[in-house]
A and B are shown apart, each in its own frame.
Chain A
Amino acid sequence: MSAFEAVIGLEVHAQLKTESKLFCACSTHFGEKPNTNTCPVCTGMPGALPVINKKAVEFAAKMALAMQCRINTRSVFARKNYFYPDLPKGYQISQYEAPLAENGCVSIVSGGSFREIRIIRIHMEDDAGKSIHSRHENLSYVDLNRTGVPLIEIVSGPDLRSAEEAVTYLKQLRSILMYLGICEGNMEEGNFRCDANVSLRPLGRERLGVRTELKNMNSFRHVHKALEYEIQRQEDLLSDSEPVIQETLLFDEDSGTTRSMRGKEEAHDYRYFPDPDLVPMELSREAIAGWTAELPELPPAKMLRFQEAYGLPEYDAGLLTAERDLADYFEATVALGPPPKVVSNWIMTDLLREIREKDLVLSRCAFTPERFASLLKLIDSGKISSKTGKQIFPELLLQDLDPGTYVQEKGYVQISDDSELTRILEEVLEENPKELAAYKAGKKKLLSFFMGQVMKKTKGQANPKLVNEKLQELLK
């Protein structure tokens, strides 16, 4: 047992899914030719004036409301000054004093119990561009298409206590952003990013230890690995009575370690001041009330409702509500009749497995809730066996097929017709007089022999439950 406790706070940057940039009408569309989505405003031409995007404010405010923050009806944009070629203005437009929102919280499930994580602030800012560093020449190539794309920064309190907890919190934020439909939430593509502040303190002590800042973690797995590594590194230092140096560290995904990025420290003097090009932003009580009313049901509430309304275990409810698409898919299917737990089991095993293995997007599959419900009905009514159902499931998910028609055409329909089954059973008994006599003489084990014969005759399409019942009846 470690004598230290880890204290982690996260700074999350989420790109907002608007059509145009935060302060100009350039497109935010990803993947365009370099420097095509640019104009005098986002390239920092002298005299060009920023005008704020209303949609970006709405999106940011909705996230703040979902995190139960207090929204400042008057917030101020500030210049964060530093020099870097992907920042043509020479400053980032951000918020410092009077950010958009403050003092919120979000609850996460950690170690089986609920934990409240404080949200210190949520502020708006514009993104920087991208640079490519040449390997051969002493040059860098700069693309300013991303410059000026709206971001929100969500700053948590130092309330996270382990790498697992940090990842759980991060996933919860992502889930909420995606429920709100305001961020793509893709860490690999960089539209959902995270920096972490980490320090250790002796168990039971209130005062925080010296912290380091971790950067360059572009997947949940990296965040976990980087934090685990950094916690261990600091623990080793402190155990040897060596000091932790306050610095920024980069995670290196190849080695799974963190390394210092010294030299940039001096640049941390950002000399914030209110941006004279932007007057304070005022939000009316009515606008805020309107956005509050538009908030969808969020994951924690949905999870509780799934447990209560559908009688699902907490595990199922948590998994089904992690993504809005999946939760909607579940509800749409259940609305068509199949029992919730059956639907949940199929989703958690077959559906999610196929989606992960084949990297599918559920909303783009032709396998609609209607088709899913019809497949489950085919099984429930005994028209096909559940084994057949599992077998044909991947096919149904990938192709544009109607389950009812498909099983007919492929001959997967079980023989459940009473008179036809009786006819086949009688044939089998007639063709095997020796076995029949032996059975009647007491060799009851031969029941499975007759079962096997029936299955052979029907190419496995007889409803096994019915065959069993009928056989017992005929052999009485």
Chain B
Amino acid sequence: MKKIETQEVAKIASLARLEADRATLERFAGQLDNILEYMETLHELDTTGVDPLYSPVQHPAPFREDSVHQAYTQQDVLGNAPESDELYFIVPKII
């Protein structure tokens, strides 16, 4: 029994806005299926009483003081945009 069908891989690709042809989707479906299969093996382990690991990093999140610091200008930020009018990012109409 397959854990993931090509159809589902196609859906995930479209959610991520990735274009892929049939052959690629099938290839990924196979790879993802292997990964899920391995997860199934891991799942056999009894983890009762073990907290879920959200991050392998052992220290807690550092905090920042609430102070304003401006390091970049409007031009810097807009400089990377494919299209702008020096005020706004311009994109294809959303609605």
A residues with a Cβ closer than 8 A to B are 18-20, 25-27, 33-40, 43, 45, 51-57, 74, 76, 81, 83-85, 97-98, 131-134, 137-144, 266, 269, 271, 274, 276, 278-282
Which 5 A-B pairs have CB atoms at the shortest separation, nearest pair first? Answer: A55-B66, A141-B88, A282-B60, A25-B69, A54-B63
Are A27 and B88 neighbours in the complex by a CB distance under 8 Å?
A: no
State the total of A-B contacts with C-beta under 8 angstroms: 127
Mark interface residues in B30-65 (1 if CB within 8 Å of A CB, else 0): 000000000000000000000010110101111111
Are B68 and A19 neighbours in the complex by a CB distance under 8 Å?
A: yes
Query: Which residues in B have their C-beta under 8 angstroms from that of A84?
Result: 94
Query: Which residues in B have their C-beta under 8 angstroms from that of A25?
Result: 64, 67-71
Are A133 and B64 neighbours in the complex by a CB distance under 8 Å?
A: no
Are B93 and A134 neighbours in the complex by a CB distance under 8 Å?
A: yes
B15 contacts chain A at the CB level, 8 A cutoff: yes
24 contacts between A and B (CB under 8 A): A33-B87, A34-B74, A35-B78, A35-B89, A40-B72, A54-B65, A55-B65, A74-B60, A85-B89, A98-B54, A131-B91, A133-B93, A137-B93, A139-B90, A140-B90, A140-B94, A141-B87, A141-B88, A141-B89, A142-B90, A144-B89, A279-B60, A279-B61, A282-B61
B77 contacts chain A at the CB level, 8 A cutoff: yes
Are A139 and B63 neighbours in the complex by a CB distance under 8 Å?
A: no
CB distance from B36 to the nearest CB of A (A): 15
Max chain A C-beta neighbours (<10 A), residue from B59, B65, B68, B94: B68
Query: Which residues in B have their C-beta under 8 angstroms from that of A45?
Result: 80
Are B91 and A57 neighbours in the complex by a CB distance under 8 Å?
A: no
CB distance from B55 to the nearest CB of A (A): 4
Are B92 and A140 neighbours in the complex by a CB distance under 8 Å?
A: yes
The number of chain B residues with a CB under 8 A from chain A is 36
Query: Which residues in B have their C-beta under 8 angstroms from that of A55?
Result: 65-66
Query: Which residues in B have their C-beta under 8 angstroms from that of A76?
Result: 54
B21 contacts chain A at the CB level, 8 A cutoff: no
Given contacts A140-B91, A280-B55, contact A39 B72 (CB under 8 A): yes
Query: Which residues in B have their C-beta under 8 angstroms from that of A53?
Result: 63-64, 66
Docked complex Cα distance between A278 and B62 (Å): 9
Q: Which residue of B lies closest to A130 (CB)?
A: B88
CB distance from B69 to the nearest CB of A (A): 4
Query: Which residues in B have their C-beta under 8 angstroms from that of A133?
Result: 93-95
Are A38 and B77 neighbours in the complex by a CB distance under 8 Å?
A: yes
Are A35 and B77 neighbours in the complex by a CB distance under 8 Å?
A: yes
Query: Which residues in A have their C-beta under 8 angstroms from that of B62?
Result: 51-52
Are A39 and B66 neighbours in the complex by a CB distance under 8 Å?
A: no
Query: Which residues in B have their C-beta under 8 angstroms from that of A276?
Result: 55
Q: A19-B67, A35-B89, A83-B17 are in contact. List 16 more A-B contacts (CB 8 A).
A: A27-B68, A27-B70, A34-B87, A81-B16, A84-B94, A97-B52, A98-B54, A139-B93, A140-B92, A141-B85, A141-B88, A142-B89, A266-B15, A279-B60, A279-B61, A282-B61
Query: Which residues in A have their C-beta under 8 angstroms from that of B57?
Result: 279
Q: Which residue of A lies closest to B16 (CB)?
A: A81
Query: Which residues in A have their C-beta under 8 angstroms from that of B59?
Result: 279
Query: Which residues in B have their C-beta under 8 angstroms from that of A51?
Result: 62-64
Are B71 and A39 neighbours in the complex by a CB distance under 8 Å?
A: yes
Query: Which residues in B have their C-beta under 8 angstroms from that of A274?
Result: 54-55
Max chain A C-beta neighbours (<10 A), residue from B80, B90, B92: B90
Are B64 and A36 neighbours in the complex by a CB distance under 8 Å?
A: no
Q: Give the contacting residue for A280; candidates B16, B60, B66, B95; CB below 8 A.
A: B60
Docked complex Cα distance between A381 and B89 (Å): 66
Max chain A C-beta neighbours (<10 A), residue from B17, B63, B89, B94: B89
CB distance from B80 to the nearest CB of A (A): 8
Docked complex Cα distance between A33 and B85 (Å): 13
